[in-house]
Chains A and B, each alone.
Chain A
Amino acid sequence: MRPVYRNLIGLAGFFLIWEGVGRVGLVDPTSLPPPSEVAGTLVGLLGQESFIRDVIATMLAWLIALGISIAVAVPAGLLLGSLPWLRSSTRVLIEFLRPIPPVALIPLIILTIGSGPDAKITLAFYASVWPILFNIIYALDDIDPLLLDTARSFGNSRARVLATVALPHVAPFAYTGLRLSAAIALIVTVSTEYLAGSQIGVGAFIIDEYIAIGGMDEVLAGTVVIGFVGYLVNEGLERAGNRMFRWSDTTRAEALT
């Protein structure tokens, strides 16, 4: 059997079970609406302009946050990774900042920034900057000294060595960090949207539907849509990564994250 068929059988089985538990009364269908109902709602929602706008708002915030993260983390990571004294002197500071769960900052952000798009972008940025940063620092540490010596022995300058040896080595690690960042940033964006009472965004949509009418099918449909977007982005990043970094042993890069 081709794997695709197996994939489809697996999905069908999941939907059948989900449908089944509602039908036989294992769970209350108003708490967990069956997929047939959710699918109907989903189709309806996709035709609704306001919902599409929510999805776009969430994705935009997510993408902007990731963009800022890359812009900050890549140079910072390269700097920290190649200047040991800088890294050791900032290490304690970073070690204290990083573990603060981003959602813990939601109340602070609400009070200081408000609940607009900049709030969720700030938090998603805060959440997604670390994986990229740390992966780059790690990768710079991990370069085979032999490779560096080889490059130097050909009379290359420091900058050239960085560009020709270090960067190619770092790239797959940074990319793996980015994938991780993307996943966490999405969680944080949606969480912020509905904890901070945003006006617009899938998270806001979900909490509004829940509070206003307790419509579980809307909640599930919204979650499925945004989950699907996340899934596609992750798959896309992974495929592209495998293609771009075919030469590298990305298994190792991933094991380090």
Chain B
Amino acid sequence: MSTMLEVRGLAHRYGAGPDAHVAVEDLAFTVAKDELACIVGPSGCGKSTLLRCIAGLIKPSAGEVSLHGDRVVGVPDDLAVVFQDYSRSLFPWLSVRGNVEFPLRTRVGSRAERRARAQEALGWVGLSDAANKYPWQLSGGMQQRVSIARALATRPALLLMDEPFASVDAQTRADLEDLLLRVRRDHGSTVLLVTHDIDESVYLGDRVLVLSKSPASIVADLKVDLPADRDQISTRGSSTFVELRTEIARLLHDRQPAPAEPAPAAASASSSDELAAERFLAAEREEAHQKTAT
């Protein structure tokens, strides 16, 4: 199997000087073609940062990323991202079809073909009938399906998903997981999916990469020895599944500093919380700043 994605010595820090916050530290891994790799890690450990580096949305402070052998600088052409926040990732002024056609405008010359491809991608996620609706007329799960269809319609070499199912209810989540597995099986895509849900990572992945608490580094790289055909009930009940999830849980847990040394734990937790709070406030200030008079 050839390598689709290769990440070497990747590090990213926000800010500079003594205030710098190291979000990702010295990461290295590869993802093979047609593989579905899951990255699981505690909240705030730097998963989104990692994904944004891979997507070329931000420039890593150190290290490099290559996609099918080409070094990534800027956003590569044949890559698509599905964000967690579907309500903000879909364009409310475009219909469902318009949203799916959006990335095709530059990629597919003919209008008719664009439309056909959008319709096809919508078919994969079971939304053929909703093409003319606006995103707000759909439920949350349907909206996320639209953004999955939009990403798939570009036929990306690599599909990146940042906690794609974190904002939907449990039932929808299970449906979307199965949908992803089905679409991937039918179309053979390479997927790198980020989640903080251990079960989800095992259920979906061919491989699970476990990340440590901030700054993120790889703690373990586990192969998932489950049959390709998975099922929400029997797979999740199988002993392999249970063993794997227990192991990951232990890995994640052990990485948290032991209760014997609580001081650094509190320090690191509060520092990242503080940072998050500060980012939030900064964003708010910015918003307030932008509210100039009408």
A and B touch in the complex (CB under 8 A): yes
The answer to whether B291 has its CB under 8 Å from any CB of chain A is yes
**B293 beta carbon closer than 8 Å to chain A:** yes
Interface membership of A69, Cβ < 8 A: no
B294 at the interface (CB under 8 A from A): yes
CB of A251 within 8 A of chain B?
A: yes
B287 at the interface (CB under 8 A from A): yes
A residues 236-257 in Cβ contact with B at 8 Å: 238, 242, 246, 250-251, 254, 257
Decide if the interface of chain B is mainly helix, strand, loop or mixed: loop
Query: Do B288 and A179 touch (CB < 8 A)?
Result: no
Identity of the chain A residue whose Cβ is nearest the Cβ of B289 in the assembled complex: A242
Do residues A180 and B291 form an inter-chain contact, with CB atoms below 8 A?
no
**A234 sits at the interface (CB 8 A):** yes
Q: Does B291 lie within 8 Å of A250, measured CB to CB?
A: yes
Chain B residues with Cβ under 8 A from A238's Cβ?
291-293
Q: Does A198 contact B (CB under 8 A)?
A: no
A58 within 8 A of B: no
Q: Say yes or no for A192: interface residue by CB 8 A criterion.
A: no
Q: How far is the CA of A190 from the CA of B227 in the complex (A)?
A: 80
- Contact check: which of A179, A242, A246 meets B294 at CB < 8 Å? A179
| A256 to B49 alpha-carbon distance, docked (Å) | 36
Task: Enumerate chain A residues within 8 angstroms of B293, measured Cβ to Cβ.
Answer: 179, 234, 238, 254
A191 at the interface (CB under 8 A from B): no
Q: How large is the interface on A (under 10, 10 to 19, 20 to 34, 35 or more residues)?
A: 10 to 19
- Please indicate the chain A residues that have their CB under 8 angstroms from the CB of B291 in the complex: 238, 242, 250-251, 254
Query: Is the Cβ of A254 less than 8 Å from the Cβ of B294?
Result: yes
Q: Give Cα A176–Cα B288 distance, bound, in whole angstroms.
A: 14
A179–B287 alpha-carbon span in the complex (Å): 19
Q: How far is the CA of A176 from the CA of B27 in the complex (A)?
A: 50
Q: Which chain B positions have C-beta within 8 A of A250?
A: 291
Q: How far is the CA of A61 from the CA of B210 in the complex (A)?
A: 70
Specify which chain A residues have a CB less than 8 angstroms from the CB of B287 in the assembled complex.
Answer: 251
Residues on the A chain within 8 Å of B294, using CB: 176, 179-180, 254, 257
With a cutoff of 8 Å between Cβ atoms, the chain B residues found around residue A180 in the complex are 294
A229 to chain B, nearest CB (A): 15
Cα(A250)–Cα(B292), bound, Å: 10
> CA separation between A163 and B287, bound complex, in Å?
28
**Which of chain B's residues have a CB closer than 8 A to the CB of A176?**
294
Tell me the complex Cα distance, A145–B293, Å.
28
Residues 264-294 (chain B) with a chain A CB within 8 angstroms: 287-288, 290-294
In the complex formed, the residue of A with least CB distance to B294 is: A254
| Cα-based distance from A251 to B294 in the complex (angstroms) | 10
- Tell me the complex Cα distance, A20–B290, Å: 33
Interface residues of A in 11-44 (CB under 8 A from B): none
CB distance from B283 to the nearest CB of A (A): 13
Partner-B contacts on A (CB < 8 A): 176, 179-180, 234, 238, 242, 246, 250-251, 254, 257
Given contacts A179-B294, A238-B291, A251-B287, 16 further A-B contacts (CB under 8 A): A176-B294, A179-B293, A180-B294, A234-B293, A238-B292, A238-B293, A242-B288, A242-B291, A246-B288, A250-B291, A251-B290, A251-B291, A254-B291, A254-B293, A254-B294, A257-B294
Pull 19 A–B residue pairs with CB atoms less than 8 Å apart, ordered by A.
Answer: A176-B294, A179-B293, A179-B294, A180-B294, A234-B293, A238-B291, A238-B292, A238-B293, A242-B288, A242-B291, A246-B288, A250-B291, A251-B287, A251-B290, A251-B291, A254-B291, A254-B293, A254-B294, A257-B294
In the A-B complex, the 8 residue pairs with the smallest Cβ-Cβ separation, listed nearest first, are A254-B294, A257-B294, A242-B288, A238-B293, A250-B291, A234-B293, A251-B291, A179-B293
